[in-house]
């Protein structure tokens, strides 16, 4: 009997060792991918936003957050599910935050573009060349549009071809509106024409497009708020029931069936919010 128990214990220990080894291998692979991803984000996305950070430092901070955050959540909640969610959040949030920063910057650039074009056309109509008009606009406008055109102007001063400088600026800012401006400048450069009138007309078109997008945002605001309310309502009800009947709600936060129920609830909440946002997001 003792021999059988010892054999079972040995087999269980071997299985646990194999699982731990596979988990360490998987974790090491994921950490390597995270390190490479953060290095790429820092060297491309953040650099395009004129934010220069050390990739090694970013990775160390990310690993520290992945260790500290789940431990703190588990200490305060005593819930392994919440601790696991904290680990996932610490792993995902850095890249999500960088992408959100880039999206906000591109949105601000798109908003500033019509005014920048009007400044350029105003200077060109007064007799200035395109380069002088761009320099004048850079001094008057704020980032990020001033940063992008200033970088293009510096490339031109260093001897970079005008077409190449435009391509580089278009590559840094993948916007449909920006592509129209770049195309107008390149075509005018190649075949001639009144660039000031073209840019002026383009600025008016972009401004009308932004006005239409603002109206659509206003009309879909109620749907977006409803999505937030409907997503938050079950969580608020759960919190209220926890305060009113803590004994009855305790198994939800202290047993494995409760953990599974919470996982299903969170998954459905995230999917519901995602689909509502997709429905109310109308692209012009």
CA-CA distances (angstroms) from residue 238 to 59, 77, 235, 241, 250? 36, 15, 5, 5, 11
| 259 and 176 in a common domain | no
For residue 84, the model assigns a pLDDT of 79
CA distance 69 to 75: 10
Count of structural domains, the chain: 2
Q: Which residues contact 188 (CB under 8 A, 6 or more apart)?
A: 195, 198
| 206 and 122 in a common domain | yes
- pLDDT score of 159 more than 70: yes
Asked which of 196, 213, 230 is the last residue of a domain, the reply is: 213
In angstroms and rounded to an integer, the radius of gyration of the C-alpha atoms of the chain is: 27
| 150 and 128 in a common domain | yes
Which H, E and C letters describe 114-170, residue by residue? HHHHHHHHHHHHCCCCHHHHHHHHHHHCCCCHHHHHHHHHHHHHCCCCHHHHHHHHH
Residue pLDDT, tens place only, 8-30? 655 555 555 555 555 555 555 66
The SS3 call for residue 264 is: helix
Residue pLDDT, tens place only, 97-122? 778 888 888 888 888 888 888 888 88
Query: Is 70 inside any structural domain?
Result: no
Identify the CA nearest to 117 among candidates 207, 188, 210.
207
Query: Is 238 inside any structural domain?
Result: yes
Q: Which two tokens stand for residue 164?
A: 């190449």
| 222 and 209 in a common domain | no
CB 261 within 8 A of CB 252: yes
Residue pLDDT, tens place only, 256-277? 888 888 888 888 888 888 888 7
Asked which of 213, 247, 262 is the last residue of a domain, the reply is: 213
Query: Is 17 inside any structural domain?
Result: no
Residue pLDDT, tens place only, 53-74? 666 777 777 777 777 888 888 8
Asked which of 213, 229, 247 is the last residue of a domain, the reply is: 213
| 200 and 119 in a common domain | yes
CA-CA distances (angstroms) from residue 16 to 24, 26, 62, 80, 258? 12, 15, 28, 19, 25
- Beta-strand ranges (E) seen in 79-203 are none
**Which structural domain, as residue segments, surrounds residue 284?**
217-284
Query: Is 59 inside any structural domain?
Result: no
Total-model pTM: 0.67
Query: Is 86 inside any structural domain?
Result: no
User: Which residue is it, tokens 């940063």?
Assistant: 147
């Amino acid at each position: 009997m003792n021999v059988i128990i010892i054999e079972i214990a040995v087999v269980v220990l071997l299985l646990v060792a194999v699982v731990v080894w596979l988990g360490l291998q998987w974790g090491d692979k994921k950490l390597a991918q995270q390190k490479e991803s953060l290095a790429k984000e820092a060297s491309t996305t953040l650099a395009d936003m004129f934010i220069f950070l050390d990739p090694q430092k970013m990775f160390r901070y990310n690993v520290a957050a992945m260790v500290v955050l789940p431990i703190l959540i588990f200490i305060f909640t005593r819930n392994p599910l919440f601790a696991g969610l904290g680990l996932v959040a610490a792993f995902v949030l850095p890249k999500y935050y960088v992408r959100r920063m880039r999206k906000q910057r591109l949105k601000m650039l798109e908003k500033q573009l019509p005014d920048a074009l009007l400044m350029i056309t105003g200077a060109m109509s007064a007799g200035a060349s395109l380069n002088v008009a761009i320099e004048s606009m850079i001094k008057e406008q704020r980032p990020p549009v001033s940063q992008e055109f200033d970088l293009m102007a510096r490339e031109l001063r260093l001897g970079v071809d005008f077409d190449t400088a435009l391509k580089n600026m278009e590559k840094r800012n993948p916007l449909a509106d920006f592509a129209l401006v770049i195309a107008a400048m390149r075509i005018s450069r190649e075949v001639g024409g009144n660039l000031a009138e073209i840019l002026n007309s383009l600025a008016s078109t972009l401004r009308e497009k932004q006005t239409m997008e603002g109206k659509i945002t206003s009309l879909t605001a109620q749907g977006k708020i409803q999505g937030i309310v409907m997503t938050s309502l079950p969580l608020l009800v759960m919190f209220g029931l926890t305060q009113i009947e803590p004994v009855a709600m305790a198994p939800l936060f202290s047993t494995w069936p409760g953990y599974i129920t919470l996982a299903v609830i969170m998954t459905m909440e995230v999917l519901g919010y995602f689909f509502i946002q997709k429905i109310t997001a109308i692209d012009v």
